[in-house]
């Protein structure tokens, strides 16, 4: 734990103002020069509210209100500084590395509670030759759109009680803050995973709902059918090649041309993490032809893929009804940023209660911090990801 000069911190607050002081703390916390655990709620309170006010929190001393209106105590300084500490802890837990799928998709800001995203069908190879001096021909655009699901709000409150300050239960408050951030991040991650694995389907194209994955193309629209599900187990380069061949056969519904996709990422469960790294990071691969009579060794062409793993994905597949043994073999390949997105009304936001609220008198809650976010996981275009259940070995 780093030694923090609380008197200097309060002096900075008085001279530079709350905005500059909080920004300084934010930068120090973001850079790792300070951590939330370096702070003490009691010492922050003693520096900003005075030691006498902190001692008055002891019920044996009469229990004088900490943030009594008109008392001349700078309760705002305590609230703002504490708020930055708790906000940092919440954000650290919300963005932890375990939430792998959240990092594979784009976040699209929106002010709508579910919206229709218009698109213009690509023209394909329909360019007409233009003779010298002649006008360019006009070409109409076909209607193309998807409807995204309604968004939902999620949030929790982290209270800082009189006892937490007086007994300096800083780590307990930070633990609660971390739990809030983790719960919000976990819920977002699970919603995205359910779409990726096909446990939930909200792809609505031109007003009609479709499943994200199709093994036969029969469940897709006649003018835009796709097959993006296979049963290849991830054992070697041939399994990746089988998935890539599915991409080659998927056509753009507006032009009839192949979908221009460059698969970038492979998503696996922990059981196949090392198998995936072996397949994609091997220096060389061997091609066998003629019934194994001829072998050709060449550089591995799969080195441009990123391998990501998700422990949560494995559990969500099991929760969707798959057996544990089968769920371990599922894997996905494609461009996840083009296939899925998180439609976000507002990102995770931490706000603090006003000084001297009713909760202080009724519950000895000095200040409360509310964390909330609102959004929805959406399928943008299922043609950009292939799912493999791994039921068939190489």
Instruction: Give tens-digit pLDDT for 38-48.
Output: 999 988 888 88
Q: Rounded CA gap, 230 and 308, in Å? A: 19
One domain for residues 51 and 154: yes
Report the 10 Å Cβ neighbour count for 326.
13
- Establish if 97 belongs to a structural domain: yes
- Establish if 162 belongs to a structural domain: yes
Phi then psi for 188, rounded to 5 degrees? -65, -45
- The pLDDT confidence band at residue 23, using thresholds 50, 70 and 90, is confident
Q: For residue 71, is pLDDT > 60?
A: no
Please tell me the pTM assigned to this model. Answer: 0.85
List, as own/partner pairs, every contact residues 125-129 make where C-beta atoms lie below 8 angstroms and the sequence separation is at least 24, other chains included: 125/255, 125/257, 126/255
pLDDT for 294-342, tens place per residue?
Answer: 778 888 888 789 999 999 999 999 999 999 999 999 999 999 999 999 9
* Section 137-149 average pLDDT: 73
Query: How many domains is the chain built from?
Result: 2
One domain for residues 326 and 187: no
- Establish if 214 belongs to a structural domain: no
One domain for residues 162 and 240: no
* Section 62-84 average pLDDT: 63
Domain that holds residue 348: 6-105+150-194+344-378
Q: For residue 236, is pLDDT > 60?
A: yes
One domain for residues 317 and 360: no
- Establish if 1 belongs to a structural domain: no
One domain for residues 254 and 272: yes
Phi then psi for 148, rounded to 5 degrees? -95, 155
One domain for residues 357 and 261: no
Higher pLDDT, 265 or 11: 265
Least confident of 73-82, 361-370, 371-380: 73-82
Q: How large a percentage of the chain has pLDDT more than 90? A: 47
One domain for residues 156 and 305: no
Please report the pLDDT score of residue 306 as a whole number.
Answer: 92
Range from 188-202, 261-275, 291-305 that averages highest in pLDDT: 188-202
- The pLDDT confidence band at residue 163, using thresholds 50, 70 and 90, is confident
Contact in structure between 360 and 67 (CB atoms under 8 Å): yes
8-41 as b/e: b if 16+ CB within 10 A: ebbeebeeeeeeebbebbeebbeeeebbbeebbb
Please report the pLDDT score of residue 66 as a whole number.
Answer: 47
What is the rounded average pLDDT for all residues in the chain? 85
Q: Rounded CA gap, 31 and 40, in Å? A: 20
Report the 10 Å Cβ neighbour count for 200.
18
One domain for residues 37 and 177: yes
Q: For residue 173, is pLDDT > 90?
A: yes
One domain for residues 35 and 172: yes
One domain for residues 38 and 166: yes
One domain for residues 368 and 312: no
Please report the pLDDT score of residue 19 as a whole number.
Answer: 84
- The pLDDT confidence band at residue 69, using thresholds 50, 70 and 90, is very low
One domain for residues 186 and 247: no
Q: Rounded CA gap, 281 and 298, in Å? A: 13
- Establish if 260 belongs to a structural domain: yes
* Section 240-252 average pLDDT: 89
- The pLDDT confidence band at residue 193, using thresholds 50, 70 and 90, is very high
- Establish if 212 belongs to a structural domain: no
- Establish if 131 belongs to a structural domain: no
- Establish if 367 belongs to a structural domain: yes
């Amino acid at each position: 734990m780093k030694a923090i000069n609380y008197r200097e911190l309060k002096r900075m607050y008085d001279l530079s103002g709350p905005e500059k002081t909080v920004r300084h703390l934010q930068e120090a916390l973001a850079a790792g020069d300070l951590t939330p655990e370096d702070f003490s709620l009691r010492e922050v309170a003693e520096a900003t509210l005075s030691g006498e006010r902190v001692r008055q929190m002891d019920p044996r001393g009469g229990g004088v209100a900490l943030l009594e209106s008109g008392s001349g105590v700078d309760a705002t300084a305590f609230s703002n500084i504490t708020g930055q500490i708790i906000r940092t802890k919440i954000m650290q837990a919300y963005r932890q590395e375990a939430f792998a799928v959240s990092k594979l998709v784009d976040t699209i800001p929106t002010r709508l509670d579910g919206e229709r995203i218009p698109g213009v069908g690509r023209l394909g190879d329909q360019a007409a030759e233009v003779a010298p001096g002649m006008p360019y021909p006009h070409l109409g655009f076909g209607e193309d759109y998807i409807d995204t699901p309604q968004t939902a709000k999620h949030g929790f409150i982290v209270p800082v009680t009189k006892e937490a300050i007086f007994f300096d239960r800083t780590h307990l408050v930070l633990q609660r803050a971390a739990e809030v951030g983790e719960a919000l991040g976990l819920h977002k991650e699970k919603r995205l995973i359910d779409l990726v694995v096909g446990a939930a389907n909200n792809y609505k194209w031109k007003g009609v709902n479709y499943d994200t994955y199709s093994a036969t193309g029969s469940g897709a629209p006649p003018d835009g059918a796709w097959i993006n599900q296979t049963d290849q187990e991830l054992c070697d380069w041939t399994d990746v090649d089988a998935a890539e061949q599915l991409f080659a056969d998927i056509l753009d519904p507006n032009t009839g041309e192949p979908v221009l996709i460059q698969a970038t990422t492979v998503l696996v469960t922990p059981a196949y993490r090392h198998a995936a790294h072996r397949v994609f990071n091997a220096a060389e691969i061997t091609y066998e032809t003629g019934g194994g009579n001829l072998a050709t060794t060449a550089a591995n062409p799969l080195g441009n893929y990123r391998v990501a793993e998700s422990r949560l994905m494995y559990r969500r597949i099991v929760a969707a009804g798959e057996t544990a043994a089968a769920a371990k073999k599922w894997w996905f390949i494609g461009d996840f940023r083009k296939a899925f997105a998180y439609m976000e009304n507002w990102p995770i936001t931490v706000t603090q209660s006003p000084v001297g609220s009713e909760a202080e008198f009724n519950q000895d809650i000095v200040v409360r911090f509310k964390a909330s976010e609102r959004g929805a996981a959406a399928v943008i275009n299922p043609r950009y990801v292939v799912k493999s259940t791994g039921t068939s070995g190489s």
